[in-house]
Chains A and B, each alone.
Chain A
């Protein structure tokens, strides 16, 4: 039994740890979404975290805990700097500005070759990330976010999402709260990038481009952004689906797409949608009038 378990772990450890990375990423964009902002810079923040941490480990030999901290602080700083001008934008304009920022980050990484290895990336990163690092990171993130939702800050986020003007009139500091959500999201994305870089031996700038940004957004929306369960569930399904469907070989991408379309059509608020569950299964009790 123990042997079977350890074989299972050896084969699937990377996949299981990817669950953690993607959960952190989905939660990072959930933060800004919960504050009513469609910011698409999370892939770039992940990249900043990954590169900062990899460079500190490889070139300066920092200990891993310090590297993790720096991998979170660097994207937070970047978020603060670009947040000041861009967070005034709303809706699709914010999405465009943050996408442009992501592109700038990618091109800077490509062109600062001495530090980042350019387009070829950084290879040979030691695999310092243990399973418990990932577990601890996800549990801590969930705990902090869960507590926050019940706090003044969380309620302020919700108020801003529902109606920014009304929230402002009620005395909520809209700008500061948005900035807080943006910076915390950057920290989570940076943490995901750091742990991921120290798990997969190498990083390259392609990973942190537009595709990854869309993937992160899809995971959160797919799971549902009404609660914390949604992003975690969405990221888990998104991570596992390609592997689960791998026996389908060439049809895998097609089935993957069909599943997504069906979910979006029939569960527009994401998979985790308690209100709809009630509507489906709770009719007998007359819960709805």
Chain B
């Protein structure tokens, strides 16, 4: 008698467990996020994770995707190439996610994205700006606007706004961001037929830039095109003003940070930067994003959070058209086919995909098609120039 009771209780328990397990599986869509939460790029990774979590909670609160909730599987890729490959394999083959967002750095993407491409799983970068990432294959997407798109626009606006006739170029040659920024600046200046008076370089960790700045001043340039990270860029601006070099600076992505107002206090004016996102951009979508982000995390969002936030909303639009059959291979393929047609207006403004081509000229993955916002520093804010 007693045994019978136990047996039926167990059976009931098993039935409930099985039922609830099945229900949970049918009601969630697993989405992988590979971000650098520790290591050298951790500051970006944390903002990126926050952006995704905010977007996921918004989508789930609004009823999910055709009733299915989004479940983020966040993994730390440590911005190490071995680890990034391990994480991608775990997400694809073990967690069986429908797609992967990430990784944080472009160099990591060169190691991990071939894994996703071979497994026919969409990989969607929100912060990879280097050339050639989307050339890896037709499952590679990104909504991060590349510097090749941002920098020409920055120069164009600065030239129009400040009447610049000739420029000097100053860049860090031992860092992957500043070096690729320089390459794109150089190309943009050639395309605009802008005369370059002199090209100077510095290295990471330098503190005195007066020798190069004096040369730049003597060359008679109307503006300095600066590809630097904020750690070197801020003292460069301070020292330029100290030696009486008062021309505008045109900065790359590395200079686009509110830290410039602290680090170059009193010398931060007249710096032009281009970016897909700006805290001063007062569209309804952006205002809503900034408000929600600040309420949830207690600090102001940055560009990386904004792009991650938009990316999940973009993917959600495509996921609405994907039939959840339980066959992960078919779902992944359907998502790949639905994604290129998505158009979305989010925190970073109007967005759509643009087909990228590989070295041989064959169509490959998808880049972002988005107009960057150019702004100039004045006092302690970025003022958007239309």
Binding site for B on A (CB under 8 A): 7, 10-15, 18, 107, 110-111, 118-121, 123-124, 127, 200-202, 204, 206-207, 242-243, 246, 249-250, 252-253
Contacts and interface: CB of A to CB of B under 8 A. Distances in A.
Contacts of A200: 81-82, 85, 111
Given A120-B130, A121-B107, A204-B107, A14 B76 contact: no
A250 B106 CA distance: 23
Contact of B110 (A10, A124, A206, A252): A124
A250 B38 CA distance: 8
11 contacts: A11-B93, A12-B86, A12-B89, A14-B86, A107-B174, A110-B173, A118-B179, A119-B179, A123-B110, A124-B110, A249-B37
B85 A7 contact: no
Contacts, number: 70
B103 to A, nearest CB: 12
Contacts of B37: 249-250
Given A18-B82, A200-B81, A119 B175 contact: yes
Nearest to B108: A202
Contact of B89 (A10, A123, A242, A246): A10
Nearest to A204: B107
Interface string B315-358: 00000000000000000000000000000000000000000000
B173 A243 contact: no
Contacts of A250: 37-38
Contacts of B90: 11
Contact of A252 (B38, B114, B130): B38
Contacts of B83: 242
Q: Size class of B's contact patch?
A: 20 to 34
Nearest to A127: B114
A207 to B, nearest CB: 7
B76 A249 contact: yes
B81 A207 contact: yes
Given A110-B174, A121-B107, A123-B110, A202 B89 contact: no
A202 B174 contact: no
Given A14-B86, A118-B179, A120-B179, 13 more contacts: A7-B94, A11-B93, A12-B86, A12-B89, A15-B82, A18-B82, A119-B179, A120-B176, A124-B136, A200-B81, A200-B82, A200-B111, A242-B78
A53 to B, nearest CB: 16
Contacts of B86: 12, 14-15, 243
Contacts of B363: none
B132 interface: yes
Interface in B1-48: 37-38
Given A120-B130, A242-B83, A11 B89 contact: yes
Which residue, of A7, A200, A253, has the highest number of chain B Cβ atoms within 10 A? Answer: A200
A246 B76 contact: yes
Chain A contact residues: helix, strand, loop or mixed:
helix
B38, B86, B175: most-surrounded residue (chain A CB, <10 A):
B86
Nearest to B85: A14
Determine the main DSSP class of B at the interface with A. helix
Nearest to B178: A119
Contacts of B377: none
B180 interface: yes
Contacts of A124: 110, 114, 136
A246 B107 CA distance: 22
Interface string B90-118: 10011000000000001100110010000
Contacts of B180: 120
A28 to B, nearest CB: 18
A252 B76 CA distance: 11
B111 A202 contact: yes
A216 B225 CA distance: 40
Interface in B26-84: 37-38, 76, 78, 81-83
Given A11-B94, A14-B82, A200-B82, A121 B89 contact: no
Contacts of A207: 81
B82, B107, B136, B174 — which one has the most chain A CB atoms within 10 A of its CB? B82
A40 to B, nearest CB: 20
Contacts of A243: 86
A120 B81 contact: no
Most B C-beta atoms less than 10 A away, residue of A13, A120, A127, A204: A120
Given A11-B90, A14-B82, A18-B82, A121 B173 contact: no
A7 B111 contact: no
Nearest to A203: B81
Contacts of A120: 106-107, 130, 176, 179-180
A99 to B, nearest CB: 17
A205 to B, nearest CB: 9
A195 to B, nearest CB: 13
A127 B176 CA distance: 24
A252 B90 CA distance: 18
Nearest to A10: B93
Nearest to A14: B85
Contacts of B179: 118-120
Contacts of A123: 110, 132
Contacts of B110: 121, 123-124, 201-202
Contacts of B38: 250, 252-253
B174 A119 contact: yes
A26 B83 CA distance: 19
